[in-house]
Every structure is written in C-alpha cells, then in structure tokens.
Amino acid sequence: MQRKRNAAFTVIAAASMVFGLAACGSDGGDGDGKKADAGNSKGKTLTVWFMSGSNPKQWTADIKAAFEKQTGAKLDVKVQQWNGIQQKLTTALSESSPPDVFEIGNTQTPAYAATGGLADLADVKGDLGADQWTKSLNQSAVVDGKQYAAPWYFANRVVVYNKEIWKKAGIKATPKSRSEFLADLQKIKKTGNEPIYLPGQNWYVLDGLLIENGADLVKKDGDKYVSNLSDPKVGKAMEEYKKLQAYSNAPKDKDEATPQQAEVFAKGKTGTMIAMGWEAATAIAANKSIESKIGYFTVPGATSAKPGGVFLGGSNLAVSQNSKNPALAREFLKLAMSDKFEGALAKEAGVIPNKESLNSNLDGNAVAQAATPSVPFGGTTPLIPEWAAVENPPNPIKSYMTAYLSGKSHEAAAKSVEAEINKRLSQKQ
C-alpha cells in the first residue's frame, strides 16, 4: 500500500550500518529442510510480520487457531508500523533469523526480490491458487518470471462525491464515461461550488490515466532503464488530467496531502474527489455531518465500455530466503491464500481479494463495490527495483505535472525533468 514514505530514525537501522558487515557467513538453508520440518513442528514457532492496519482482529485469531491446529507449531504475529519499515525489513532480512513470512507493499516487492531476501515460491504456486489470481494483482509479485510473493489484498481509488452538491446541479445518475464526468463537473461549476478537488500533483491519479493509455514511464535502453516520460502517450494521459484539474481550485504545485484533500472535501463545498476509501473516513472524522451526503462511484473510463485505469495499491505475502522454517512458512501461505481466509479478510477489512470469485464477500460495502470494477484495468508504477528512487521527494514527475499545468508543452515539461529521472534510475543497486 502506498503510505507516506517517511524515513524514521530507527536505531536498529543505524546500527546495522555499523555492525551489519560484521555478521558474515550465509545461512541459506533452503531446499533440504522444506518437507522435513512440516511433519514434526511441535515446539516450533513461525514468525509472521503484518503491517499496521492489515490484519483484522477476528481474521488474525481464526488463522492463528487454524494454523496451530493444523501444524502443531506456534504462530507469532507481529504488527509493524509503515513508518521506517523498509529500513527495518532490510535489517531483519540480513540477519540469521528473519521473520519467516512477511507482508510487503506490492510496489516494493521487485526491489526486495532483487536483494535476494525473498524465497522463490515456484514449488507451492499451484497450491496457493495462482491460476485464479487476478492478473493485474499478481504482476508485482513476479520478477524475471519467478514468483517471489503471493498477492494478498488490494485497494484502489474511487470517486467520492457529495450527493447534495451533485443533486443541486441537477445530475440524476453517476457518470459512466469521462466525457459524462466532465459534463457533470461543468454543471456543478454553474452552481458555484468547486466541482472537484484535484491538486496539480495527485500523481497516483495520473498513474491511473497512464495505465489506461498504455503509457510506460520507463523503457529499456541496452541493459538499463531510462525515462520514457516524453512518450506522446504520457502527454495524452496528462492532457486528460488537465481537463479534470481545470474544474478544481486546488493549487497546481501541491499534492493531495497538502492540505489533506479529505479535509477540504469535509467542508462540504467541494463536489468530488478521487480518493482512497479511508479518505472518506478522514472526511467524516473532520465533519460528522458529511457522512450522510457521501457517495462513491467507479472512476470513469474513456468510454462507458470499461472503467478508467487506477493505481492498484496493495500488499503481497513473502517468505524470507533465510527463514529457518521454510516448509512451515509455505503452510501458512497456503492457509492465508485459501478461499476461506482470503474471503474472510476481504469481508472483515473491506479490501479487494486476490481472486475475482471472492468479490461477493464485499456485498454491502459501498466503497469496495465502487472499487472492484476497476481492478482488472488497474496497474502499478513501473515494477523495477530502480523505480523507488524516482518517487523520492522531490518527485520529478510531480514537477512535470506542475510544469505542464502551468502552460508548458508536454515535450518541454518532460524534457525539464528527464535528466533527473535518468539520474535516479541509474543509481547503483
């Protein structure tokens, strides 16, 4: 999931800079122990890391009971904070007894696969139900043809709207295509309200449009990746973004977090925002009276034939290469990926499951029902280890967006940041 990437001062990570090298010698004990340890698991403990907010209470209790009953081993669930997780995970994976199974953000998965810290799951892929996984959700877990993680749960943006404002503008039904959407925004504008809150740098909204237009942000040049930002397809997506942005009073040089768009929406003078489900909760927390006015619909596409592209945020489950309990870890994965527990997770947490056949668990959940139609048409950011550095603030793509929206041509705006993107893509791994 894409959260605020925020480097916290972890003493552990700092210490690892100093002491990490001292602990030499590899502990790669995979292969031989895989089958042996599952049979005789009494007294063993499997350590699993989940990210804060990922594992709901009932689901956690149920899977713990089921796992312990099935294997005789103990399950130790540790919940980690998103803040500083990359440093903590890197350090943990370098140690001789890392967590056996851990949750990892989908866009972070390729980078960790490249570090050699994740085990190849080819041997259990079939048992995990891989043939039924939604294709777009599994993309991040496969690197160079190898299955390095299992797709666990997902979330994507929906359109959150203020029913009262839309009604006042005389709009009867929610739009199915972007032209209808723009026409509706025009109607709202006439009522004097802000039609949509869309700052100039909501880069995940642009990413959705890029995915819809089949635009790639990077391309291969020999054996390394370079920026593909100047591609006309990117320009096309940005043009679509600009059309939407024109209906917003939001600043062109800020992103959706400064100020929090949900807090702007909460004031009740904004018709629409493109947001994650939890942002609606933020708006409600800021202004209780808005709760009854909030509605959701799927991000409209170019035509009414299919929904618009969205950025799919989510998490995979991975097994450490250095796990002392590789077979038990795989047993846990099988359990978590089973229809029973994957479905229960979707139901309790309101997240999108890894198989479309499990979507029925989301009946009655308005946000999730607006989100699921987009999933097959969703995508991510470029799934290469080098990509993470590009998004480090100040994100050059955000600079591109501001430059374009302030009147520069697509070519000129792209040119102004491509050197920076290439510099970041060529950082040593």
Closest distance to another protein from the beta carbon of 94 (Å): 5
CA angle 105, 374, 335 (to 5 degrees): 45
CA distance linking residue 87 with residue 81, whole number of Å: 12
Give the pairing of strands 218-221 and 224-227. Answer: antiparallel
Peptide bond into 385 cis (omega under 30): no
DSSP run (H or E) holding 147: strand 146-147
Nearer to another protein, 24 or 305 (CB): 24
Nearer to another protein, 111 or 159 (CB): 111
230 touches 414 (CB < 8 A): yes
Q: Is 82 helix (H, G, I), strand (E, B) or coil?
A: coil
Nearer to another protein, 135 or 288 (CB): 288
Closest distance to another protein from the beta carbon of 414 (Å): 20
CA distance linking residue 217 with residue 387, whole number of Å: 10
Closest distance to another protein from the beta carbon of 255 (Å): 10
- Binding-site ranges for another protein (CB under 8 A): 6-7, 9-10, 13-14, 16-18, 20-21, 23-26, 86-87, 90-91, 93-94, 111-112, 114-117, 258-259, 389, 392-394, 427-429
Closest distance to another protein from the beta carbon of 343 (Å): 34
205 touches 198 (CB < 8 A): yes
369 touches 301 (CB < 8 A): no
Nearer to another protein, 117 or 235 (CB): 117
Rg (C-alpha) for the chain, rounded Å, is 23
Nearer to another protein, 27 or 127 (CB): 27
Q: Which two tokens stand for residue 181?
A: 């959407």
Closest distance to another protein from the beta carbon of 91 (Å): 8
DSSP run (H or E) holding 46: strand 45-51
CA angle 228, 391, 281 (to 5 degrees): 120
Residue 298 DSSP one-character state: P
CA distance linking residue 157 with residue 311, whole number of Å: 7
Nearer to another protein, 209 or 390 (CB): 390
Nearer to another protein, 20 or 33 (CB): 20
Closest distance to another protein from the beta carbon of 253 (Å): 10
Closest CA to 192 of 169, 163, 171, 161: 169
Closest distance to another protein from the beta carbon of 90 (Å): 5
Closest distance to another protein from the beta carbon of 117 (Å): 5
Query: Beta partners for 155?
Result: 313
Closest distance to another protein from the beta carbon of 181 (Å): 30
Nearer to another protein, 202 or 374 (CB): 202
Closest CA to 50 of 114, 99, 115: 99
Nearer to another protein, 104 or 368 (CB): 104
Closest CA to 410 of 256, 213, 220: 213
Closest distance to another protein from the beta carbon of 400 (Å): 14
Closest CA to 73 of 115, 41, 105: 41
Nearer to another protein, 26 or 289 (CB): 26
Nearer to another protein, 8 or 183 (CB): 8
Query: How many C-beta neighbours within 10 Å does residue 5 have?
Result: 16
Query: Between the CA of residue 250 and those of 18, 42, 328, 344, what are the distances in Å?
Result: 45, 59, 51, 39
